A and B are shown apart, each in its own frame.
Chain A
Amino acid sequence: MKKFGLLLGTLLLTGSSAMFGQMEKSIRLNEVMTDNTANLQDEYGKCEAWVEIANVSYTTYNIRGMYLTTDRSVLDKKISVPERVKRMSIIPNGEPRTNLGARQHLLLFCNGTPAQGALHLDVKIDPGKPTWIGLFSGNATDLVDSVTVPPLGANQSYARVKDGARLWQIKPVDAVTPGISNFIQASETKVAKLKRDDPYGFGISVLAMSIVFACLAMLFLFFTFFGWLMHHRSTAKKVAGVQPLKAGVKTVEKAMEIGNKTSIILQDGLKSKGIDKEIYIAVIAMAIKQYQNNVHDMESGVITIKPKHTDWNVEYIQMTQFHE
């Protein structure tokens, strides 16, 4: 029992940590500007290097407690956690903007002065040089995402082609997209497209109806086959006259019994259900004998109720006697 509990606990823990890991993987470094001279300003009106983090999932995720760093040495797994933490900058608690909603973005300023605000990190990015940026999970050990930013011109950014996409590109000054999606396209909505391509709804009806049919036809096929299987299993069970044999209780005796019944079926057909003709004859003979001897219970169908005095409604039984 203890082992089972342990197993269950481990499974749950593994499952939940895997899920947590999956959630973190939805948090991506999305766009970086290393040389900000005339782009986005911080709360103090200064232009600082910034890193955009995106939540590419459809679930809210709070990135507080995660770490950002430009120090590549933290990739060495042998470094202790306290030492790692010293080389990274934590995304602080208590800042509501770190709670990233579905498909939302957050800009973090990397000017090395965290005292200036929750979104200012203790990370300094030197403009004009290639920079490695790593985003680590709350344990300061697991790398969530990283990017090596090539040397960029003033006010250029290095961004994923689309939010969360594998490919990165250098964006010119006029195409930088801080705090919003990297790929903005005024595309036609599904509804508008359908209205244009299928104005009478015939296409969508045929398609959707086919899907419904396919779905239910799969159920039909599966349960037809499965029903056939179960039917034959139950027939075999009836023939055997016993529960299906379990691995541990296989005995020569049972095997012989089944073998005997099988041979009867082969000889006399499936209708015999594996029962020897002699047994049938014996059962029929016994029934005839019982019928002739009137052994079977014969009920008259008349119920006789004889009165019996029980005193159930005598008053004195229900009364309490006063003490004198």
Chain B
Amino acid sequence: MGFTNFLVENFNEFLTYTGFANATAGNIAMIVVGAVLIYLAIKKDFEPLLLIPIGLGIILGNIPFRTDAGLEIGLYEDNSVLNIFYQGVRMGWYPPLVFLGIGAMTDFSALIANPKLVLIGAAAQFGIFGAYMVALALGFEPNQAAGIAIIGGADGPTAIFLSSKLCPNLMGAIAVCAYSYMALVPLIQPPLMRLLTTKKERVIRMKPARQVSQTERILFPIIGLLLTTFLVPSGLPLLGMLFFGNLLKESGKTTRLAKTAGSALNDVIVMLLGLTVGCSTQASEFLTINTLFIFAVGACAFAVATASGVLFVKLMNLFLPEGKKLNPLIGNAGVSAVPMSARISNNLGLEYDRHNFLLMHAMGPNVAGVIGSAVAAGTLLGFLS
């Protein structure tokens, strides 16, 4: 009898540890959200490299368990493996490492060949500040508003970096929102681009970019680093790593390092970043009215960023001589969703003129957008930290 009691007692206790005993409706809802993201990534090919880790992370972070048992397994429990991985997000050192990889993979030639494209990257950052004002109007604190507004930069690592510094409690929602909208760029941007351009403008052909020498490509990260970080030192972690990665690539002497930074290292960090960001969206933190607002403001930020990029190109065209005019379809690429938004410019351009390849031209504002969003993040950090 004693042994039976022992078995029953322990079995009952075991049951209290299971996910079935601890599940809440929020957990189930979040697991569904995670599954949807995985579905979108695999079936619809929406940013699979990010949405698969985030989607699985959401599921992982919402597996219910007894939090009072001290199992040290949850993301927010000290010494758990996930908590150790999460330090990279919390302390903000994953995003700069991702930027290192981006720098090592990015070719700035299109920008160097036609430096005026960099201004489009700057104009598109208006999405961030437009969203900042909207977020304030919705009642968010200035630091939270800045964290949410950075979604408009369309740069996941930058959004995570800034929100981890300014509003860590909203970081999960901001990161998921940023990556979701980045994945939805093909759906968000084209209607706006069509709306804001005429048929005549869409068929403007741009001159092929000149060839850029290696000296210019080597000097770009060095000069870029000096100019941007002297003005905005608070952007140092992101800009420093971005330009460092690019120098590794362009120096021609550290190919091995550039290759590692752009492949293996970047992949490892993206996996850990995606997974832990996903995990951080636990139902209790994520399923709030704030998350809905964040998604609404994020959509607004993307729309404003796209529109301001396109409109800025049209403004530039007023001052450019005939034959040197820019195709406004590259304006959307000012948001830093690399290379997705540049690809959209290209596809839309081909839709109206099947010989008008805009990809290389759009890559200019696209990479400028990466720099611009990092500068914007640094600026906001300087003002609000």
A residues near B, CB below 8 A? Answer: 190-191, 194-195, 198-202, 204-205, 207-209, 211-224, 226-227, 230-231, 234
Nearest CB of B to A102, in Å? 14
Classify chain B: how many residues form its interface, as a range.
35 or more
Give the complex CA separation of A226 and B113 in angstroms. Answer: 10
Give A214's nearest chain B residue, CB to CB. Answer: B231
Contacts of A211 in B (CB 8 A): 231-232, 375, 379
Contact flags B140-156 to A (C-beta < 8 A → 1, else 0): 01110100000000000
Proximity bits, B321-363, A CB within 8 Å = 1, else 0 = 0000000000000000000000000000000000000000000
Closest to A221 in B: B115
**What is the CA–CA distance of A223 and B113 in the complex, to the nearest angstrom?**
8
Question: How far is the CB of A238 from the nearest CB of chain B, in Å?
Answer: 12
CB-CB < 8 A to A200: which residues of B?
133, 136-137
Q: Which of B103-133 contact A (CB under 8 A)?
A: 111-113, 115-116, 118-119, 121-123, 125-126, 129-130, 132-133
- B240: Cβ under 8 A from any A Cβ: no
Contact assessment for B136 and A234 in the assembled complex, using a CB-CB cutoff below 8 Å: no
Q: A201 CA to B227 CA in the complex, in Å?
A: 27
Please pick, from A198, A212, A213, A224, the residue contacting B116 in the complex, using a CB distance under 8 A: A224
From A222, which residue of chain B is reached at the shortest CB distance? B223
Contacts of A234 in B (CB 8 A): 213
Nearest chain A CB to B35's CB is how many angstroms away?
Answer: 37
**Can you offer 26 A-B residue contacts whose CB atoms are under 8 A?**
A191-B143, A199-B136, A201-B132, A204-B129, A204-B142, A204-B383, A208-B379, A211-B375, A211-B379, A212-B122, A212-B125, A213-B119, A215-B232, A216-B122, A217-B119, A219-B115, A219-B223, A221-B115, A222-B223, A223-B115, A223-B220, A226-B216, A226-B223, A227-B210, A230-B213, A230-B215
The answer to whether A224 touches B115 (Cβ under 8 A) is yes
Query: A234: nearest residue on chain B (CB-CB)?
Result: B213
Q: Indicate the member of A201, A215, A226, A230 with the most B CB atoms within 10 Å.
A: A215
In the bound complex, do residue B383 and residue A190 qualify as a contact, i.e. CB atoms below 8 Å apart? Answer: yes
**Known: A216-B371, A220-B118, A222-B227. Is A201-B145 also a contact (CB below 8 A)?**
yes
B372 touches A204 (CB 8 A): no
Point out the residues of chain B lying under 8 angstroms from A222, CB to CB: 115, 223, 227
If A191-B384, A194-B142, A216-B122 touch, does A201 touch B213 (CB 8 Å cutoff)?
no
- The DSSP consensus for interface residues of chain B is helix
Chain A residues lying within 8 Å of B143, measured Cβ to Cβ, are 191
Residue B224 at the A interface, CB < 8 A? Answer: yes
Residue B219 interfacial (CB < 8 Å) = yes
Closest CB pairs A-B (n = 5): A205-B129, A223-B115, A216-B122, A201-B133, A201-B136
Determine whether B368 belongs to the interface, using a CB cutoff of 8 Å to chain A. Answer: yes
Select B376's contact among A201, A212, A223, beta carbons within 8 Å. A212
Q: Closest CB-CB distance, A191 to chain B, in whole Å?
A: 5
B380 within 8 Å of A (CB atoms): yes
Q: Does B198 contact A (CB under 8 A)?
A: no
B251 on interface, CB distance cutoff 8 Å: no
Complex interface: chain A residues within 8 A of B121 (CB): 216
B228 to A, closest residue via Cβ: A215
- Assess the B383–A194 pair: CB atoms within 8 A: yes
User: In the assembled complex, how far is the CB of residue B299 from the closest CB belonging to chain A, in whole angstroms?
Assistant: 18
For residue B94, give the distance in angstroms from its CB to the closest CB of chain A.
21
Asked whether, in the complex, the Cβ of B223 is within 8 Å of the Cβ of A212, the reply is: no
